[in-house]
Amino acid sequence: MTEDARDVMDFDVVIVGAGPAGLAASIQLKKLAAEAGSEISVCVLEKGSEVGAHILSGAVVDPIALNELIPDWKEKGAPLNTPVTSDRFYVLGPSGALRLPNIGMPKLMNNHGNYAVSLGNVCRWLGEQAEAMGVEVYPGFACSELTFRDDGSVKGVVAGVFGIAADGSHKGDYQPGMELNGKYVLLAEGVRGSLSKQVIAKFELDKGCEPQKYGIGIKELWDIKPEKHVPGQVTHTMGWPLGRKAGGGSFMYHIEGNQVAIGFVVHLNYKNPYLSPYHEFQNYKQHPMIKEVLEGGRRVAYGARAITEGGLQSVPKLTFPGGALIGCSAGFVNVPRIKGSHNAMKTGMMAAEAAFEAIQGGREGDELVDYSQKYRDSWVYKDLWKVRNAKPYWSKFGMIGGLALGALDMHLSEKFGFSFGTRKHGKPDHACLEPAAKHKPIAYPKADGVISFDRLTNVSFSATNHEEDQPVHLALADPDVPITKNLPTYAEPAQRYCPAGVYEILEEDGKERFQINAQNCVHCKTCDIKDPAQNINWTVPEGGGGPNYPNM
Ligand SMILES: Cc1cc2nc3c(=O)[nH]c(=O)nc-3n(C[C@H](O)[C@H](O)[C@H](O)COP(=O)(O)OP(=O)(O)OC[C@H]3O[C@@H](n4cnc5c(N)ncnc54)[C@H](O)[C@@H]3O)c2cc1C
Ligand code: SF4
In 309-384, which ranges are E strands? 319-320, 323-325
| Atom 12 (ligand 1) nearest CA | 339
Among 307, 329, 526, the mutation site with the greatest number of ligand 1 atoms within 8 A of its Cβ is 307
Q: How far apart are CA 304 and CA 415, in angstroms?
A: 36
Atom of ligand 2 nearest to the CA of 530: 7
536 Cβ below 6 A of ligand 2? no
Give 346's Cβ-side CA count (13 Å radius).
Answer: 27
Q: How far apart are CA 178 and CA 69, in angstroms?
A: 31
| Atom 7 (ligand 1) nearest CA | 59
What spatial distance separates the first Cα and last Cα of the chain, rounded to whole Å?
A: 39
Task: Walk along the chain (552 residues) and give the pLDDT tens digit of each residue.
Answer: 445 589 999 999 999 999 999 999 999 999 999 999 999 999 999 999 999 999 999 999 999 999 999 999 999 999 999 999 999 999 999 999 999 988 877 788 889 999 999 999 999 999 999 999 999 999 999 999 999 999 999 999 999 999 999 999 999 999 999 999 999 999 999 999 999 999 999 999 999 999 999 999 999 999 999 999 999 999 999 999 999 899 999 999 999 999 999 999 999 999 999 999 999 999 999 999 999 999 999 999 999 999 999 999 999 999 999 999 999 999 999 999 999 999 999 999 999 999 999 999 999 999 999 999 999 999 999 999 999 998 998 888 876 777 777 777 777 777 777 667 889 999 999 999 999 999 999 999 999 999 999 999 999 999 999 999 999 999 999 999 999 999 999 999 999 999 999 999 999 999 999 999 999 999 999 999 999 999 999 999 999 999 999 999
Residue 399 is predicted with a pLDDT of: 67
| Atom 52 (ligand 1) nearest CA | 57
Residue 401 is predicted with a pLDDT of: 72
Q: How far apart are CA 219 and CA 299, in angstroms?
A: 10
130 Cβ below 6 A of ligand 1? no
Is the separation of the CB atoms in 260 and 223 below 8 Å?
no
Residue 466 is predicted with a pLDDT of: 95
Evaluate if pTM is beyond 0.95.
yes
The DSSP symbol for 35 reads: H
Q: How far apart are CA 525 and CA 523, in angstroms?
A: 6
Atom of ligand 1 nearest to the CA of 191: 30
From 222, 224, 422, 203, select the one nearest 324 (Cα to Cα). Answer: 203
474 Cβ below 6 A of ligand 2? yes
| Atom 8 (ligand 2) nearest CA | 524
Q: How many helices (H) and strands (E) does the chain have?
A: 15, 23
Is the separation of the CB atoms in 430 and 532 below 8 Å?
yes
| Atom 6 (ligand 2) nearest CA | 498
436 Cα: distance to centroid of ligand 1 (angstroms): 32
DSSP letter string over 128-173?
HHHHHTT-EEEET--EEEEEE-TTS-EEEEEE--EEE-TTS-EEEE
348 Cα: distance to centroid of ligand 2 (angstroms): 26
- Nearest-ligand number for the alpha carbon of 306: 1
Residue 410 is predicted with a pLDDT of: 74
Residue 127's alpha-carbon distances to 52, 318, 375, 426, in angstroms, are: 9, 24, 24, 38
Helix, strand or coil for residue 549?
coil
From 338, 215, 335, 219, select the one nearest 281 (Cα to Cα). Answer: 219
Q: 507 — phi, psi (to 5°)?
A: -105, 125
Residue 1 is predicted with a pLDDT of: 43
Q: 158 — phi, psi (to 5°)?
A: -100, 130
288 Cα: distance to centroid of ligand 1 (angstroms): 31
From 259, 270, 278, 275, select the one nearest 524 (Cα to Cα). Answer: 278
Residue type, 522: V
Residue 407 is predicted with a pLDDT of: 76
Helix, strand or coil for residue 99?
strand
State CA 317 to chain mean position distance.
Answer: 19
From 2, 7, 5, select the one nearest 170 (Cα to Cα). Answer: 2
Helix, strand or coil for residue 457?
helix
Q: How far apart are CA 226 and CA 366, in angstroms?
A: 55
